[in-house]
């Protein structure tokens, strides 16, 4: 029996809104469109681990700093699907929130819109929030808005290497990507993170040692 069919002694665990977003997920990205959308998206973020259960991937398109599209895939339970479906609707309706406004949306706001979730499923709303934050950080890096990137943003998801780790490596002498990789092993397993890591490497070199190149 699936989550969406489970009952407690008082009736459904899930609100009608949750069941609707599970059965009719909004903005879900079909497998056939992933390659195309990955090229067109302004920001891409992944949160979760296959080993732990739920995995969330999110793609965003941004125009004039407003989120015009938010597409996603998740491999998880009904609550994760419903939470992300609702979240994607919240940040794109009425012309779309600004990226900064969307970052202010909290998991509790998703829960309120859904009419609540069982206590053991509340983490699913957090997963959607974290996936968006990863996509927003990716967008900020792509558009050279480095001052808006979260401190401690996990660039290499496989090894947990953060933007701070990259900055520390630069301060300790790394000047090329090979030197960065030798120090941190970034990109050894998570090769998708390499373009982002290279941009951050260049940024931190410029930030701390620009006089070396003038």
**Residues shown for the chain:** 214
> Does the structure show a pLDDT above 80 at 3?
no
The third-level CATH classification (topology) of the domain covering 3-144 is Sufe protein. Chain: A (3.90.1010)
In the chain, where the domains are located: 3-144, 151-213
CA pair distance 128, 119, nearest whole angstrom: 16
CA pair distance 45, 132, nearest whole angstrom: 6
> Does the structure show a pLDDT above 70 at 50?
no
DSSP 177-198: HHHHHHHH-TTSS-GGGHHHHH
For residue 127, report the phi and psi dihedrals to the nearest 5 degrees.
Answer: -60, -45
124 in active site:
yes
pLDDT confidence of residue 64: 94
77 in active site:
no
* Torsion region of 204: left, alpha or beta (phi above 0 gives left; psi -120 to 50 gives alpha): alpha
At 139, list the tokens.
Answer: 């967008």
Give the percent of the chain with pLDDT over 90: 66
pTM above 0.75, yes or no: yes
> Residue 88 in contact with residue 29, Cβ under 8 Å?
no
For residue 20, report the phi and psi dihedrals to the nearest 5 degrees.
Answer: -65, -45
pLDDT confidence of residue 5: 41
pLDDT confidence of residue 78: 82
pLDDT confidence of residue 15: 84
At 123, list the tokens.
Answer: 């983490």
CA pair distance 7, 5, nearest whole angstrom: 7
The CATH code that applies to domain 151-213 is 1.10.10.1100
């Amino acid at each position: 029996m699936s989550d969406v069919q489970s009952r407690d002694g008082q009736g459904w665990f899930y609100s009608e809104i949750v069941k609707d977003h599970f059965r009719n997920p909004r903005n879900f990205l079909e497998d056939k469109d992933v390659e195309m959308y990955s090229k067109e998206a302004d920001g891409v973020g992944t949160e979760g681990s296959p080993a732990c259960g739920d995995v969330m991937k999110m793609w965003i398109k941004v125009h004039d700093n407003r989120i015009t599209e938010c597409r996603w895939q998740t491999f998880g339970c009904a609550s994760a699907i419903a939470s992300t479906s609702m979240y994607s609707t919240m940040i794109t309706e009425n012309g779309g929130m600004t990226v900064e406004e969307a970052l202010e949306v909290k998991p509790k706001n998703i829960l309120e819109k859904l009419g609540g979730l069982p206590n053991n499923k509340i983490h699913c709303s957090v997963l959607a929030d974290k996936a968006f934050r990863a996509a927003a950080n990716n967008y900020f890096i792509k558009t050279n808005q480095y001052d808006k990137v979260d401190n401690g943003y996990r660039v290499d998801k496989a090894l947990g290497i953060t933007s701070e780790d990259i900055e520390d490596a630069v301060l300790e002498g790394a000047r090329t990507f090979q030197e960065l990789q030798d120090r941190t092993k970034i990109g050894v397993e998570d090769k998708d993170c390499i373009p982002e890591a290279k941009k951050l490497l260049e940024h931190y070199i410029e930030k701390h040692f620009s006089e070396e190149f003038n």
